Amino acid sequence: MAEVFRITPMEAAGAPPRLSSLAAWSERHFKWLLVAPAVLLILALSIYPLVFSLVVSFINYDFQVPGHDFVGLRNFERVIADPVARRSLVITAFLSGTSVIIEFGLGLLVALAMVKSFRGRGLVMSILIVPLFISPVIVGQAWTLMLQRPFGPTNYVLSQILGQEVTISWLTQAPWLYISLILADVWQWTPFMFVILLAGLTAIPNNLYEAAELDGVGAWDAFRWITLPHLMPMILLALTFRLLDAIRMFDTIFIMTGGGPGTQTYTATYYLYTIGFAQFNLSQATAGSWLFLIFTALVVILLVRRLLKVEPV
């Protein structure tokens, strides 16, 4: 017997079939369903390590000892009471602050020099940004080879320039070891400042400078009253991103000085690495990481609030 298909009036009129409640809900939230797997994966890969590290910071975690005793705030107290930890924060602030200031100054000068078109400008810009694409480990190794006594050429070149023998221990003698780390960081990351500031300079309308020139405004006054106000949002953006990256300085220190001599070049990240992965005191290292995270979050909040207060001219 042939089957009889019953056609509803809506179907006969060409209307789309009515969706079920689940299908209708999926239709309304289709875009969220597409990104849900990625969001859940990111949350799983970020929230679980954070929660686990928070638990580890309150216990005595040891690979070889079964069972982990709850010790409360003892791990945090050890980090706070450790003079090496306190000194590592000072070294971090000094190295990152000095490097970022020098990088900003050099990047601004290079950006001002490159803002106008000239023959070979593209080639010069390509050469200037090459350090950005080099691994910090390679940068540290290259500067180590240049500064290392007695094989590095730095002392020889300085001896020829000054007319007397130069025997500086760049990687083992203070303050030269700090200068060496700053030089390596400045060489690699000045192009970052240059690129961002150049983008800000090219966005300033030329008619402002033309009007200032007609009014007899000098170059310094034009820079002070036109360039800086328009460039300030990009300046704060560049300083914020670069400072947040500089306080995590680790690679070049690991390659060039190894934290030494002694603990003289211990930054916060190198201190945490040494405590956790060299001395295997993971609980204290995790507690120190949370303290460093809080310190970094405060810096981020201050910088972002200052950045948001800047209004475009």
Enumerate residues 6+ apart whose C-beta is below 8 A from 230. Answer: 200, 203, 204, 208, 312, 313
> CB of 188 within 8 A of CB of 103?
no
Placement of tokens 């300033």 in the chain? 204
pLDDT along the chain (313 residues), means of 10: 49 53 78 86 86 90 75 92 94 95 94 88 89 92 90 89 90 92 95 93 88 84 89 90 91 92 93 91 92 89 77 54
Q: By the 8 A CB rule, do 60 and 265 touch?
A: no
Cβ contact 208:128 at 8 Å? no
Query: What's the whole-model pTM score?
Result: 0.84
Considering the domain 79-309 in this protein, what is its CATH number? 1.10.3720.10
Q: At a CB cut-off of 8 Å and minimum separation 6, what does 126 contact?
A: none
The whole-number pLDDT of residue 186 equals 96
Q: Please state, in angstroms and rounded to a whole number, the distance separating the CA atoms of residues 19 and 10.
A: 13
Q: Is 6 exposed, middle or buried (0-12, 13-18, 19+ CB in 10 A)?
A: exposed
**Domain residue limits, the chain:** 79-309
Other beta carbons within 10 angstroms of residue 235's beta carbon come to 19
Asked whether the beta carbons of 188 and 134 are under 8 A apart, the reply is: yes
Q: How far is CA 233 from CA 106, 201, 227, 309, in A?
A: 18, 11, 11, 9
